[in-house]
Amino acid sequence: MPHNTFHASTIPGVHSDTRSYRASVRLDHLVIAVSDFERSNAFYRDVLGARVVEIDGRVAYRVGEQQLNVHGPGVEPAMVARIPVVPGNSDLCFEWDGPIALAVAHLNAHGVRVEAGPITRGGAKGAGTSVYFRDPDGTLLELISYVD
């Protein structure tokens, strides 16, 4: 039985290999919001290994080849979602490149409480093992490992 039967009953039967157009698209960046730049910069740098960068007077976190643009106090972005992102309302998953036990140890070493896991979850590469935790504003974060 799927964890979420709603999704199982609403996924269309069309497979991606039957699309008439194949775009070469990949995720470049997304937006999160924070309530305190100093606190969040330290968290994303120390816990997720992000490079904290300044782009056009704004803060961004680079994690691997992806980027999190950061909205927060004093930031007035030119374009925002219809319902703008606010601190604590995002849900992000990052791939951990080692065993999930090392991710748990890493989080513990930084004083970050694991809320759930390790548990099996489906990710971009198939089934993996995940742990869930939160950033200082309450955004739900997940680390998924595809390593046995």
Question: What pLDDT is stored for residue 137 in this prediction?
Answer: 98
Residue bearing the bigger pLDDT, 133 or 21: 133
- pLDDT surpasses 50 at 31: yes
Mean pLDDT of 3-30: 67
Mean pLDDT of 47-56: 95
Question: What pLDDT is stored for residue 1 in this prediction?
Answer: 43
Mean pLDDT of 143-147: 96
Mean pLDDT of 11-31: 72
Mean pLDDT of 59-65: 94
pLDDT digits (tens, 9 = 90+) for 116-130: 999 999 999 999 999
Residue bearing the bigger pLDDT, 102 or 9: 102
Question: What pLDDT is stored for residue 12 in this prediction?
Answer: 63
Q: What is the mean pLDDT of the chain?
A: 89
Question: What pLDDT is stored for residue 76 in this prediction?
Answer: 87
The HSE-up count of residue 138 (CA atoms within 13 Å, CB side) is 6
Beta strand extents in 4-148 (DSSP E only)? 29-33, 51-55, 58-63, 66-71, 91-96, 116-123, 126-134, 140-145
Other beta carbons less than 10 A from residue 89's beta carbon: 14
Most distant CA pair in the chain: distance in Å? 49
The tokens describing 88, both together, are 């604590």
Say which residues have a Cβ less than 8 Å from residue 19's Cβ, sequence separation at least 6: none
- pLDDT surpasses 80 at 17: no
State the virtual CA torsion across 75, 81, 85, 91 in degrees, nearest 10.
Answer: -140
Positions annotated as catalytic residues are: 142
**Confidence band for 8, pLDDT divided at 50, 70 and 90:** low
Say which residues have a Cβ less than 8 Å from residue 88's Cβ, sequence separation at least 6: 33, 137, 138, 139
- Beta strands 140-145; 91-96: pairing state: parallel
At residue 69, φ and ψ (nearest 5 deg) are: -80, 140
Say which residues have a Cβ less than 8 Å from residue 45's Cβ, sequence separation at least 6: 51, 52, 61
